[in-house]
């Protein structure tokens, strides 16, 4: 779960940086031509940034999937052990009940 939170944090940092950079460029006191040139450079870098973010998110998702699968396998193992223990206890109780002498049957009362 911590891995999932870190990927969300990383995505937020990247998006915040991109939005901050664009906002800073738009509000900076530069000429229109210079601002457009900087924006073009930033826009050219966005696909690479998106690809890096995508790769990072994929790695985090794979880790999350592996962790989930490991947890599921551990849960199934514990469940199988619990079922086996329940079956063994049931067998022991059945054998114990079979070994007990039967209680005497009361004779019917004559009326």
pLDDT value of position 2: 54
> Do residues 22 and 46 lie in contact, with contact meaning Cβ atoms separated by under 8 Å?
no
Residue 83 has pLDDT above 90, yes or no: yes
pLDDT value of position 111: 58
Residue 75 has pLDDT above 80, yes or no: yes
Residue 66 has pLDDT above 80, yes or no: yes
pLDDT value of position 85: 95
Structure tokens, 23: 């906002």
How confident is the model over 82-89, as a mean pLDDT? 94
pLDDT greater at residue 25 or residue 93: 93
Helix, coil or strand: residue 111: coil
pLDDT value of position 74: 92
| Domain spans of the chain, in order of start | 2-96
Q: What is the band of 84 on the pLDDT scale with cuts at 50, 70, 90?
A: very high
Burial 8-38 (b: 16+ CB within 10 A, else e): eeeeeeeeeebeeeeeebeeeeeeeeeeeeb
Q: Is the pTM of this model over 0.75?
A: no
Residue 4 has pLDDT above 60, yes or no: no
């Amino acid at each position: 779960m911590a891995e999932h939170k870190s990927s969300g944090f990383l995505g937020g940092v990247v998006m915040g940086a991109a939005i901050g950079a664009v906002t800073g460029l738009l509000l900076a006191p530069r000429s229109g031509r210079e601002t457009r040139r900087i924006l073009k450079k930033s826009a050219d870098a966005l696909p690479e940034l998106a690809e890096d973010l995508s790769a990072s998110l994929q790695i985090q998702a794979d880790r999350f999937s592996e962790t989930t699968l490991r947890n599921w396998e551990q849960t199934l193992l514990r469940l199988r052990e619990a079922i086996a223990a329940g079956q063994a206890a049931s067998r022991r109780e059945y054998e114990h009940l079979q070994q007990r002498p039967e209680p005497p049957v009361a004779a019917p009362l004559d009326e």
